[in-house]
Amino acid sequence: MERTDGFIVFDNVSYEYPGAEEEISGDVKNDTPETGNTGAGRKYAVSGLNFHVNKGEFVCILGRNGSGKSTIARLMNALILPTEGHVYVDGEDTAETKDLWEIRRKVGMCFQNPDNQIIATSVEEDVAFGLENIGVEREEMIERVNEALRVCGIEKYRKTEPHLLSGGQKQRVAVAGILAMKPSCIVLDESTAMLDPKGRKSVLEIVTKLNKEDGITVILITHHMDETAGCDRIYLINEGTVVKEGTPKEIFSDRDTVLGLGLELPPTAELFSRLKSEGVNVPDAVLGIDEGVSVLLNLAGKD
């Protein structure tokens, strides 16, 4: 069956890792996708999961460690297939597609540890690696590699050995390798978690630009709350299922839910939330320094 109601659609998806029942301790006998997951002993890494991401959207997935985020990422490009339910990518059921590689080309994955993603001995060879695998002609390969290096701001490192680069530069090499494949969507699974603030910023700026200027769909899995301010929508995940969906404003106005899931508010939202609880007349979910400054200027009668 084809689906046309989103670029990526999860329809009641559950996933159990092979052997999970033996490996994960705890009472899993009564776990079903419906009764769900009751903590560390749950059998299903994700259960009864429904969500969709539209073409061109920038969506964040937030949840604490073990909540199922990486499993969701793997399901998105058919690295794993649902135990129950269906995942559709660009209308195609990942369990039924004849061309898994086409799904993996369309949905590029960037993982957490940049060292595990680098294969070749120079930056340009690394960026070309996927293209060689799919047999792209030499001239087009050179063109695509040049363009990807340019977009990711790493042209000057093209001959450099990747292991000499910083974490942020390595992640930009990984993103360039994905870009060269001309994906419709990029999934970043905690790809900024190991980076310093400068490296995080450089990777985020690139994917934001790819989203805004080139219409590439971005799915950002993160636990840095401040990285979510500019996204279109957030899915809050807990115990392998969606707890809440909404715009950053909607999500971070609900402080109790966010904190209840073991997450935090972005720093400015936390600051204004506390001011509000002290009786100061400020709006909910002030996201980012710029908005904070304008709210404070207004309060001070200086806008």
Ligand X SMILES: Nc1ncnc2c1ncn2[C@@H]1O[C@H](COP(=O)(O)OP(=O)(O)O)[C@@H](O)[C@H]1O
Tell whether residue 273 is a contact of Mg ion (CB under 5 A): no
Name which of ligand X, Mg ion, none residue 65 binds, using a CB cut-off of 5 to 8 Å depending on partner kind: ligand X
The residues binding ligand X (CB under 6 A) are 17, 20, 23, 45, 63, 65-71
Binding segment (CB under 5 A) for Mg ion, from list 50-58, 66-74, 98-106, 196-204: 66-74
Q: Considering beta carbons, is residue 126 or 227 the nearer one to Mg ion?
A: 227
CB of 99 to Mg ion, least distance (A): 27
CB of residue 15 vs ligand X: minimum separation in angstroms?
Answer: 8
Nearer CB in complex with ligand X: 71/211: 71
Nearest approach, Cβ of 80 to ligand X (angstroms)?
A: 9
* Residue 20 interface partner, choices Mg ion, ligand X, none, CB cut-off 5-8 Å depending on type: ligand X
Q: Select the binding partner of residue 68 from Mg ion, ligand X, none (C-beta < 5 to 8 A, by kind).
A: ligand X
Contacts (CB under 5 A) with Mg ion, residues 232-261: none
Q: Which is nearer to ligand X, 22 or 213 (CB)?
A: 22
Q: Which is nearer to ligand X, 66 or 292 (CB)?
A: 66
DSSP string, the chain: ----S-SEEEEEEEE--TTHHHHS-S--TT--TTT---STT-S-SEEEEEEEE-TT-EEEEE--TTSSHHHHHHHHTTSS--SEEEEEETTEETTT-S-HHHHHHHEEEE-S-GGGG--SSSHHHHHHHHHHHTT--HHHHHHHHHHHHHHTT-GGGTTS-GGGS-HHHHHHHHHHHHHTT--SEEEEESTTTTS-HHHHHHHHHHHHHHHHHH--EEEEE-S-GGGGTT-SEEEEEETTEEEEEE-HHHHHH-HHHHHHTT----HHHHHHHHHHHTT----S---SHHHHHHHHHHHTT--
In the complex, what is the shortest distance from the CB of residue 114 to ligand X, in angstroms, rounded to a whole number? 17
Residue number, 47 or 211, with CB nearest to ligand X = 47
Minimum CB–partner distance for residue 221 and ligand X (Å): 7
- Range in contact with Mg ion (rule: CB under 5 A) among 64-72, 117-125, 144-152, 158-166: 64-72
Residue 17 binds which of ligand X, Mg ion, none (CB < 5-8 A, kind-dependent) = ligand X
Q: Which is nearer to ligand X, 202 or 238 (CB)?
A: 238
Q: How far is the CB of 47 from ligand X (least distance, A)?
A: 10
102-141: burial string, b at 16+ Cβ within 10 Å, e else: ebbbbbbbbbbebeebbebeebbebbbbbbeeeebeeeeb
The rounded distance, in Å, linking the Cα atoms of 106 and 90 is 9
Of residues 19 and 135, the one with the C-beta less far from ligand X:
19
- For 70, the token pair is 């990486």
- 70 contributes a contact to Mg ion by CB under 5 A: yes
In the complex, which residues of this chain contact Mg ion (CB under 5 A)? 69-70
